[in-house]
Amino acid sequence: MKRLLSGMQPTGSGRLHLGNYEGALKPWIALQGKYEMYCFIADWHALTTMAGSTDSIADQSREVALDYLSAGLDPSQVAIFRQSAVPQHAELAVLLGMLTPVSWLERVPTYKEKREHVERQEGGSDASVSFGLLGYPVLQAADILLYRAHVVPVGKDQAAHLELTREIARRFNHLYATDVFPEPQALIQEMTGTLPGLDADSEGKLRKMSKSYGNCIYMTDSEDDVAARLKGAFTTPTKMRKTDPGIPEGCSVCLLRKLYDADNYTTQWDECRSGERGCVQSKRETTEIVNAMLEPIRERRKLYSSDPAELDRLLKDGAERASAMAEATMQIVRETMKFL
């Protein structure tokens, strides 16, 4: 069986939203049984933005694990674990860092964006752009190559990191005349594209659902939470009354309806456009549809969160399975680099 690896950072509250579910978790779940799977929680990566506040990382990591499980990842088929529980990630990152030119890292778009963000916050100083932030893709390459993964399902924003991982793998294989590392393929999720959030930017355009915009429906939201969030959601600004014409393509509620009611949404869209249906009704109906979709996720979450010791056991078991693979790779790497 070919191997698959992917992961998410436990930043924010650690709770995942419908964008994470559609863009990442669902594709992973669809591949269960087809690959030997490793789905981890990138808690060391989270330090690139929260090195000074590590108190909450353990709890946030557990939240992510609970979201993985409640989405339907099956711990008997998938090793679910925290990156920090498998220290070989750090060992391989150190070694790979030695053969990665800084110029490759400075070109990475996510680094450039984050650096500009930090510089803005610091009033123009780049003093707090850490070595770890620049090295983020090296650690990510180590995450992937440690399991000699063949495929890595990720969102579009991760494409550059995957390309760099492939370059690092090629360089390692070339330098040591080996074929230890297969070049991992990115499986980019294009199907649903990016899930829009519940708000709009200053120009009235929808933007992606993201925890940093606070425009999310979370997988852990209760029925009432979903109702309240959709009540405040961005619709057609010029549709003040039911009879005003709506523009469903630019409305967060109509787009969610399309996603979760793919067979029947056209009536709602037509009636929104023609002024036969108002936003209040559309929001109420979409709330019911989203709540019905979340119901099995809530049930599984209740089950797993009722037994914290069981969650610990699952994470420990996942880390043991991951460690076996990680150590096997490191033995080969140490041997190849003459560090036995």
131, 90 contact by CB (below 8 A): no
SS3 118: helix
The 29-68 contact track toward ligand TRP, x by CB under 6 A, reads -------------x--x-----------------------
Applying CB under 6 A, among 208, 231, 273, 300 the residue interacting with ligand ADP is: 208
Task: Taking each helix axis as running N to C, give the angle between helix 159-175 and helix 131-145, from 0 to 180 degrees, rounded to the nearest 10.
Answer: 70
CB of 189 to ligand ADP, least distance (A): 7
The span of 3-11, 27-35, 118-126, 289-297 binding ligand TRP (CB under 6 A) equals 3-11
Q: Assess 209 for contact with ligand ADP (CB under 6 A).
A: yes
Q: Assess 7 for contact with ligand TRP (CB under 6 A).
A: yes
Q: Assess 157 for contact with ligand ADP (CB under 6 A).
A: yes
Structure tokens at 202: 């200053």
CB-nearer residue toward ligand ADP: 258 or 277 = 258
177, 5 contact by CB (below 8 A): no
150, 200 contact by CB (below 8 A): no
Q: Assess 311 for contact with ligand ADP (CB under 6 A).
A: no
Output the CA–CA distances (angstroms, integers) from residue 137 to 72, 99, 110, 162, 329, in the order listed: 28, 13, 10, 8, 19
Q: Assess 229 for contact with ligand ADP (CB under 6 A).
A: no
Q: Assess 150 for contact with ligand TRP (CB under 6 A).
A: no
Q: Assess 9 for contact with ligand ADP (CB under 6 A).
A: yes
Q: Assess 210 for contact with ligand ADP (CB under 6 A).
A: yes
- Separation CA 208–CA 24 (nearest Å): 14
CB of 210 to ligand ADP, least distance (A): 3
CB-nearer residue toward ligand TRP: 66 or 162 = 162
Applying CB under 6 A, among 6, 60, 215, 291 the residue interacting with ligand TRP is: 6
CB-nearer residue toward ligand TRP: 191 or 228 = 191
Q: Assess 226 for contact with ligand TRP (CB under 6 A).
A: no
Tokens 């990630």, residue located = 89
Q: Assess 140 for contact with ligand ADP (CB under 6 A).
A: no
- Separation CA 273–CA 268 (nearest Å): 9
- Cα-to-chain-centroid distance, residue 254: 24
Q: Assess 140 for contact with ligand TRP (CB under 6 A).
A: yes
Binding residues for ligand TRP, total number by CB under 6 A: 14
- Separation CA 72–CA 296 (nearest Å): 9
SS3 151: strand
- Separation CA 326–CA 5 (nearest Å): 12
- Cα-to-chain-centroid distance, residue 181: 24
The span of 17-25, 53-61, 224-232, 284-292 binding ligand ADP (CB under 6 A) equals 17-25
Say how many residues make up the chain: 340
Q: Assess 287 for contact with ligand ADP (CB under 6 A).
A: no
Q: Which residues contact 233 (CB under 8 A, 6 or more apart)?
A: 198, 199, 252, 253, 283
Structure tokens at 199: 């708000």
Residue facing ligand ADP at closest CB distance: 155
Binding residues (CB under 6 A) for ligand TRP: these are 5-9, 42, 45, 140, 143-144, 152, 154, 158, 161
Binding residues (CB under 6 A) for ligand ADP: these are 8-9, 19-20, 22-24, 154-155, 157-158, 194-195, 208-212
